[in-house]
Amino acid sequence: MHLTAKIDFSDPHGGPDATRLRHAFGTPQHILTATTWSEVPAVLDGVQAAAEKGAWCIGYLRYEAAGAFDIALRTHPADGPLAWFAVYGQALPWPEDHPTIPPAPTLHWSAPAQRPVFDAALHQIQQAIANGEYYQVNYTAQMVAAIDGMAHGAAPALFAALQRAQPGGYAAYIDTGHEQVLSVSPELFFDWHSQPHGGEILARPMKGTAPRGHTPEQDTAQATALRNSPKERAENVMIVDLLRNDLSRLATPGSVQVPRLFHTQALPAVWQMTSDVQAHTRAGTSLAQVFGALFPCGSVTGAPKVRAMQAIAALETGPRGIYCGALGVVRPLGDGSIHATFNVPIRTVVLQGNQARCGIGSGITAGSQASAEWNEWRHKRAFVEQASMSFDLLETLALENGQWRHGTDHLARLHRAAQHFSYPWDAPRIHQCLADLAQAQPQGNWRVRLLLDSSGQPSAQAFTLEASPPQVRLQLATQPLAEAHSPFVHHKTTHRAHYDAFTPTLAGIYDTVLYNEEGEITECTRGNVAMLLDGQWVTPALHCGLLPGVGRAVALRNGRLREAVVRLEDRPRIQAWAFLNSLRGWIAAELI
């Protein structure tokens, strides 16, 4: 049976061990669709009626459906149906991944915006805030990728890859025939349990972002800083107040509450801050009325909503589409009651014809800084860039007369990468793979390339390890490494295009010293770097954007090195240089 939809939704009211709503859906009984604003409420009424009679309904509203509920909510013209729902007679079990599923297509995404355009938009927003026009605007842009002859089954494979890159949350796959929607959104729009005498509704807006740390200590510090940031808290409270006001249009008097404020949620690339707003809905409230009060979610508009959406329509060059709309499931509860759960479709890819689209954005306030918001966009797009390419995790080890040099450190780093990228981890299988290779090469010095693919299958290959040179010459990169804070820098993988661009081309140059966009020295393309600075050997701190090399970790443990932030302008103070990694050890270096 051809599956037209899948949902994998967290329980909004449960803890980490709560049961997930995880189902697949085959051929729908019929489709409900709206192409004009006047048709949208009728579609939602049809969805509610079908669910009350026992059907499951899966579908979405485009952001441009907002005018169906309030004509003052300005948008661009829509690029597809304003509302689309499939009605199913039953929910099927979630299909197990099958080895014959083709690999996800490799997609090369355009940048969501050019930096000068981005900076100009932020300046315009902040000028309007200073003039009192609004408090906050959620500014977004679309990334686009061409799909060259995507094979049948590649869309579900890409969805699986997206789920590995962004696990948990409110994931949904919908194939309408005209377009495929692949959403791995972590944000709950609303969860509504409707009963004849009333109902309960929960909204969980997501506002406030910080990058994940590179160590457990840094990660905890990042979460704490996010929770305590006046700028991020103010941004969150603005949207909480907007949602409280929206929910009051549905609620029984005095029932709107905020039971949880400033909760930090860990995602693979970022920390996000959420708050809960809940209420009792009045008897007779309809699904169309819920959308009429809440749509679009204030977290993707700004405040106040009407003026913020007018600004968005002027700033953004085209429709948002399903991105920033609503996507979810309305299911029967067996007694005429229904349960509706919708995400805010951020972290969402839409495939149409030979094109893929994905929106990225952030909330802009008076305290926003262009460089910080630009980096936030980079962190947020990491999920789709990771899912859009095929890569293995990689470790390069030295095997000396059958013994592994720093083997425990290498496997610990590989395990951290597997956890980050959600690759299966089978420690006994990996140990056996290495044991088999060591048994085959009991004598001599070998460079071993250990790979772990996305299915958790390890492989290892040995090459003769030549003697390391006593001294090497390094060159300084002519431009910053823009991807310094990418997971493909913090974890070692076969995806190395960002490093390959800096491979030395001059004879006699061993490697290139890299630096980030803040002018902080980071690493080389094949190892870490050490510098004798003011009489002390130092190596760049991890938060500057570099691989946590095993040789570097050993040197830090034994006291030969300490971490420091070293900037390009500090070079005159550097008395000596060294290149180091686990394979080659410590090599004296000269920077030309």
Catalytically active residues, by annotation: 187, 207
- What would the two tokens of residue 430 be? 């990996």
Alpha-carbon distance 280 to 192, whole Å? Answer: 10
DSSP state of 521: E
Distance CA 57, CA 31 (A): 9
DSSP string across 73-93: S--PPPSS-SEEEEEES-PEE
Compute CA 295 distance to the chain's CA centroid, rounded to the nearest angstrom: 24
H or E, element range at 432: helix 427-440
**Cα-trace Rg, the chain:** 26
DSSP notation for 22-75 = EEEE-S-SEEEEESSGGGHHHHHHHHHHHHHTT-EEEEEE-GGGGGGT-TTS--
> What is the token pair recorded at 447?
């460079």
Give SS3 for 559. coil
**177, two tokens:** 């025939």
Identify residue 158 by its one-letter amino acid code.
L
Q: 82, 38 in Cβ contact below 8 A?
A: no
Residue 328, exposed/middle/buried by CB under 10 A (0-12, 13-18, 19+)? buried
User: How far are the Cα atoms of 5, 214, 460, 555, 578 from residue 539, in angstroms, in the given order?
Assistant: 50, 15, 30, 10, 10
CA distance 111 to 179: 22
- Where is 479: in which H helix or E strand? none
10 φ, ψ (degrees, to nearest 5)? -65, 155
Give me the residues paired with residue 329 across strands: 58, 341
Find all residues with CB under 8 Å of 33, minimum gap 6, and list them. Answer: 39, 43, 81, 83, 84, 85
Tokens representing 40? 């949208």
Comparing CA positions, the residue from 103, 94, 104 lying closest to residue 6 is 94
